[in-house]
Amino acid sequence: MQVRSLGYLTDLMVRRLAGSQITEGDGHLVVRTPRNPSFYWGNFLLFPSAPVPGDIQRWLDLFAAEFPGADHVAFGVDGTEGPLEMTAELDEAGLTIDSSTVLTARGLREPAQPPTDGTARPLRTAQDWEQAVGLRVAVAESEGSATPGHRNFLESSVAEARFLVDQGHATFFGAFVDGRLCAYLGLVSDGGSVARYQTVETHPDHRRQGLASHLVYRAGLHGLEDRGAATLVMVADPVGPAIGLYRALGFSGEEQQAELLRAPTMQPVSGTSAPTDPVKKP
């Protein structure tokens, strides 16, 4: 399957580097992440175009065959066009539509007001990674998604981030205030021309202090100058507050990434990638 969406191309890059299994189906891709089965966007089917009448039941049957026992259903829809339209077929299947905006930059503008307190550096120690789990849990609690199973998902996601760092595929940066991790994000690259941001999150007690902007800028410089990337990719909620932050730093673009999801009751929807995120992504 020839993938067109820059969002999905970089999602698949991250999945491959993280050790996910990506296989060709009959006109679709199967993405499987055995180490984190509750990660919706690590365990999904990717189709080349939007469903036409009659497709959804076939898609559901394919998903059930590939992921027996899964308590979610997740379909990616390749392409760069606008969001999907809800249909009676989607509604009857209990599927919701999520659309994200894929942004790119070849250079970044320095934040207008860099934070005056705190230290920004790569995560290195076991304590750093433990704090990353704590930060992600605090964000989940603030969003009302801290269900019992969600902590396991977050621990697996942070373990995957650490694996990517250990393998030389990523750098995860943190903003520390008095030794406490207050903001967190990653940049992943396979050594090619594109680097993808992951998991931009700020502790609820430290938002609107410029920490995330500073980390996005610093990680971008790292990607362009140290990793040799020509293009930085960020996937964002098109209506959330974060997209304005990214545009202010120099990101632009209107490519849309479409997803269909049926989440189990009381399960968090966040997954990857992406930027408190994650969600939408990891």
**pLDDT of 105 above 60:** yes
pLDDT tens digit sequence for 131-168: 999 999 999 988 876 566 788 889 999 999 999 999 99
DSSP state string for 89-127: HHHHTT-EEEEEEEEEESS-PPPSS--SSSEEEE--SHH
Nearest-Å Rg of the Cα atoms of the chain is 18
Output the average pLDDT for the chain.
Answer: 90
**pLDDT of 277 above 70:** no
User: What's residue 113's pLDDT?
Assistant: 75
Domains of the chain in sequence order? 6-100 (no CATH), 119-253+268-281 (3.40.630.30)
User: What's residue 267's pLDDT?
Assistant: 38
Give the span between the Cα atoms of 257 and 98, in whole angstroms.
8
**pLDDT of 273 above 60:** no
**pLDDT of 52 above 80:** yes
On whether the CB atoms of residues 274 and 282 are closer than 8 A, the answer is: yes
Share of the chain above pLDDT 70, in %: 91
Q: What are phi and psi of 115, to 5 degrees?
A: -65, 145
Taking residues 211-235, report their average pLDDT.
96
pLDDT tens digit sequence for 63-72: 999 999 999 9
The Cβ-side half-sphere exposure at 62, using a 13 Å CA radius, reads 20
For residue 275, what pLDDT band results from cuts at 50, 70 and 90?
Answer: very low
Give the span between the Cα atoms of 243 and 253, in whole angstroms.
11
On whether the CB atoms of residues 246 and 234 are closer than 8 A, the answer is: yes
Burial 111-143 (b: 16+ CB within 10 A, else e): beeebeebebeebeeeebbebbbebbbbbbeee
Look up the pTM and report it: 0.90
**pLDDT of 272 above 70:** no
Give the span between the Cα atoms of 88 and 101, in whole angstroms.
25
